[in-house]
Amino acid sequence: MNNGDTITAIATPAGEGGLGVIRISGPLSGMIALNLFRTSSGATLDALESHRVYFGAVNDGASPVDEVCLTYMKAPRSYTKEDTVEISCHGSPAVLRRVLKLVTSRGARMAEPGEFTKRAFLNGRIDLSQAEGVIDLIKSRSEGAARAAFGLMEGGLSARIESVREKLVRVLSHLEASIDFPDEDFQTATDAEIIATLDEAVRRMERLIQSYDGGKFLRHGINVAIIGKPNAGKSSLLNALLEEERAIVTHHPGTTRDLIKGEAELAGLNVELVDTAGLNPTPDEIEAEGIRRSLKAAEAADVLIGLFDGSRQWDEADARVISTLRQARHFVAAVNKADLCQKLDWPERDIAPIRISVRNATGIDALIAAVSTVAKSVPAQGHEEPVVTRLRHREIFCRIAEDLRRAKEELAVGREVAAAGVWDALEEIKRFTGESYTEEVLSSIFNEFCVGK
Ligand SMILES: Nc1nc2c(ncn2[C@@H]2O[C@H](COP(=O)(O)OP(=O)(O)O)[C@@H](O)[C@H]2O)c(=O)[nH]1
Ligand SMILES: [Mg+2]
C-alpha cells in the first residue's frame, strides 16, 4: 500500500516553537528511525514497537543532535496507511533542518505540499472530500469554519452522499431489470415509486446546494462594511467589534477618511470588518475621495451594516445610507447612541433597525447575531445537516440534481433512457468521493496544502 518511496517534511509551522515535528512516511520510515535514534542511555534499538512513544535522542552517527520523542506507526494503522514515524524535536528551525537533512540522507525524499494527505487518499483511508476537510480544518480561522471542516473531514458529507448513492443504485437495478428482462414478471418498482425516490434524492441535493450560501462564508469568512453618516459612531463600532482601538474616534465629523480594516471572529465566523468614511453630502475634496472608496467597499462587502445616529434627526445623508443598503445583498440597520435622548424618527417601514449604544455596549450582541443570520451562516452544530463549504461540491450536487430531474422526466419515454440519467448521477458521486478523478482535480486540491500535511 505505498508508492514505493519514503517522504519526509517538517510538519510544524516555520519559526521557533516549543516543539517541532518531523514526519516520515513510507517503507523506509522504521529503518531510518532505528538508524538515527538512540535511547537515553545511548543505545541503539533493534526494532520499534508500533504506536509506542520512545524517548531519547536523534544522533548523527557521531553525536546527539536533539532530545526527542519518537513514535512509530506501522502500516496500515497510520495517517497515510504506510509505515510512519513522527519525531518530536525542540522547535528550533536549525535543529529541525538538521534532523530533516539526516532523514533525507538516510533515503527519504522531501514531501510535496499535501503529499501525506494525498497518500491517505490514494491508499483509501479517506475519500477526496475528507481530504478537502483536512485542508479546510488546517486553514480554518473561526470556530464555525473549524466545525464545518471537521465535519467534512470526519466524513459527514460523504455519509449523506453514500446514502443517496445506495438509493440510486437500487433504483438503477429496478430500471435495468425491466430493460434486461422486459417480458418476465419481475417485481420491479413502479414508476411512481421510482419517481418518489428520485424526488427525495433531488430534495437532498437541493438542501445541500442551499447550504452553500452560508457555507462559503464559513470557509472563506465574510467581509462586513460599516456605513453611515459622519459621527454616527462607525469607528466606535469597529473598535468595539475588534475589541481594540483601531480607528480614531472623535466628535469631529469626517475624521475617518480612508478605509480602516480589521479581522475579528464574530458568532463563529471569520469576519473582515471595514470602517468607512461617513457619507457626508457636502464633502471637501479629501472626504470626497474617502466617500468614493467607502461606496466601493460597500459594494464589495458580503454584509453591510448601516449605522444611524439616534440622537439626531433623519436627514439626507441617512437617506443615502438607506439607498446604499437596499442595493446590498445582505444588510443590517442599526441605530446607535441609544443612551442619548432619541430624536431620530425612523421612516423606513420595512426595515427594523437594531437599537444599540456603542458607548454603553448594549445591543452589540444582537447586532452580531443579525449579521450572522443575514449571512445565513449560523454554524452547523455537530450532528445537524452538513454544510457545503466548497464550490467543487456544490457544482457536483447541482449536476446530480440535474441528472436526476432529467431521469425523472425521461421515465415517461422509457426506463432505458431514465437509467442513463441515474448512471450520470452515480458518475458525479464518484467525482465527489474521488473514486474517479483527474490529475488536474487532485493537484488543484492538494496544492492548497502546506508541506508536512
Ligand atoms: N453618546 C454616545 N456617543 C457615541 C456612541 N458611539 C459613538 N459616540 C460618539 O460619537 C462621536 C463620533 O464617533 P465616531 O466613532 O468617530 O463616529 P464615525 O464618524 O461614524 O466614525 C464620538 O464622539 C463618539 O464618542 C454612543 O453609543 N453613545
Ligand atoms: Mg469614523
Residue in 229, 234, 236 to alter for ligand 1 test, most ligand atoms within 8 A of Cβ:
236
How far apart, in Å, are the Cα atoms of 124 and each of 3, 79, 82, 130, 352? Answer: 13, 11, 11, 11, 52
Instruction: Please give the Cα distance from 344 to 313 (Å, whole number).
Output: 5
Concatenate the DSSP letters of all residues of 213-248 into one string: HHHHHHHH-EEEEEEESTTSSHHHHHHHHHTS--S-
How far apart, in Å, are the Cα atoms of 16 and each of 74, 92, 94, 190? Answer: 30, 5, 9, 67
CATH class of the domain at 154-433 = alpha beta
For residue 249, which ligand has an atom nearest its CA?
1
Asked if residue 21 lies in contact with residue 71, where contact means CB atoms within 8 angstroms, the answer is no
Predicted pLDDT at 398: 98
User: What residue type is assigned to position 182 of the chain?
Assistant: P
Concatenate the DSSP letters of all residues of 280-300 into one string: -SS--HHHHHHHHHHHHHHHH
Residue in 227, 231, 311 to alter for ligand 1 test, most ligand atoms within 8 A of Cβ:
231
Burial per residue of 179-190, b for 16 or more beta-carbon CB atoms within 10 angstroms, e otherwise? eeeeeeeeebbe
**285 CA → ligand 2 middle, Å:** 17
**292 CA → ligand 1 middle, Å:** 22
> In 15-85, where does DSSP find H-type helix?
29-36
**272 CA → ligand 1 middle, Å:** 21
Instruction: Please give the Cα distance from 158 to 47 (Å, whole number).
Output: 38
Predicted pLDDT at 2: 47
Please state, as a whole number, how many other Cβ atoms lie within 10 Å of the Cβ of residue 263: 12
> Of all helices (H) and strands (E), which one includes residue 404?
helix 391-410
**396 CA → ligand 1 middle, Å:** 48
For residue 229, which ligand has an atom nearest its CA?
1
Instruction: Please give the Cα distance from 202 to 209 (Å, whole number).
Output: 10
User: Half-sphere exposure (CA, 13 Å, Cβ side) for 282?
Assistant: 2
**Residue for cell digits 510535496?**
112
Instruction: Please give the Cα distance from 369 to 241 (Å, whole number).
Output: 12
For residue 249, give the ligand 1 atom closest to its CA.
Answer: 16
**277 CA → ligand 2 middle, Å:** 6
Determine the 3-state secondary structure of 164 from DSSP. Answer: helix
User: What residue type is assigned to position 78 of the chain?
Assistant: S
Predicted pLDDT at 80: 97
**312 CA → ligand 1 middle, Å:** 12
**262 CA → ligand 2 middle, Å:** 14
**165 CA → ligand 1 middle, Å:** 57
User: What residue type is assigned to position 295 of the chain?
Assistant: L
Residue in 241, 244, 246, 249 to alter for ligand 1 test, most ligand atoms within 8 A of Cβ:
249
Instruction: Please give the Cα distance from 83 to 11 (Å, whole number).
Output: 16
Please state, as a whole number, how many other Cβ atoms lie within 10 Å of the Cβ of residue 49: 10
Residue minimizing CA distance to atom 19 of ligand 1: 231
For residue 255, give the ligand 1 atom closest to its CA.
Answer: 19
Predicted pLDDT at 430: 97
For residue 237, give the ligand 1 atom closest to its CA.
Answer: 15
Phi/psi region, residue 228 (left: phi>0; alpha: psi -120 to 50; beta: rest), is left
Q: pLDDT 10s per residue in the chain (453 long)?
A: 445 899 999 999 999 999 999 999 999 999 999 999 999 999 999 999 999 999 999 999 999 999 999 999 999 999 999 999 999 999 999 999 999 999 999 999 999 999 999 999 999 999 999 999 999 999 998 888 999 999 999 999 999 999 999 999 999 999 988 777 666 666 678 889 999 999 999 999 999 999 998 888 888 889 999 999 999 999 999 999 999 888 888 888 888 878 899 999 998 889 999 999 888 888 888 888 888 999 999 999 999 999 999 999 999 999 999 999 999 989 999 999 999 999 999 999 999 999 999 999 999 999 999 998 888 755 444 446 789 999 999 999 999 999 999 999 999 999 989 999 999 999 999 999 999 999 999 998 998 888 878
Phi/psi region, residue 51 (left: phi>0; alpha: psi -120 to 50; beta: rest), is left
All 3 cell numbers of residue 309?
Answer: 445616529
**Residue for cell digits 483509501?**
124
**349 CA → ligand 2 middle, Å:** 28
Residue minimizing CA distance to atom 11 of ligand 1: 251
Instruction: Please give the Cα distance from 152 to 140 (Å, whole number).
Output: 12
For residue 229, give the ligand 1 atom closest to its CA.
Answer: 20
**Residue for cell digits 445537524?**
384
For residue 425, which of 402, 395, 391, 408 has the smallest C-alpha distance? 402
Spacing of C-alpha 129 from chain mean position: 12
- What CATH number matches the domain at 7-119, 1.10.3720.10, 3.30.1360.120, 3.40.5.10, 3.40.50.2300? 3.30.1360.120
Kindly report, as residue ranges, where domains of CATH 3.30.1360.120 are found in the chain.
7-119
Kindly report, as residue ranges, where domains of CATH 3.40.50.300 are found in the chain.
154-433
All 3 cell numbers of residue 414?
Answer: 422509457
Asked if residue 277 lies in contact with residue 296, where contact means CB atoms within 8 angstroms, the answer is no
Predicted pLDDT at 370: 94
> Of all helices (H) and strands (E), which one includes residue 22?
strand 17-25
For residue 231, which ligand has an atom nearest its CA?
1
Please state, as a whole number, how many other Cβ atoms lie within 10 Å of the Cβ of residue 349: 6
User: Half-sphere exposure (CA, 13 Å, Cβ side) for 270?
Assistant: 16
- Pocket of ligand 1 from Cβ distances under 6 Å: 228, 230-236, 249-251, 255-256, 278, 336-337, 339-340, 357-359
For residue 279, which ligand has an atom nearest its CA?
1
Predicted pLDDT at 123: 95
Predicted pLDDT at 305: 97
State in Å, rounded, how far the first CA of the chain is from the last one.
Answer: 19
**249 CA → ligand 1 middle, Å:** 7
Spacing of C-alpha 238 from chain mean position: 25
253, β-bridge pairs? none
Asked if residue 303 lies in contact with residue 332, where contact means CB atoms within 8 angstroms, the answer is yes
Asked if residue 82 lies in contact with residue 1, where contact means CB atoms within 8 angstroms, the answer is yes
For residue 335, which ligand has an atom nearest its CA?
1
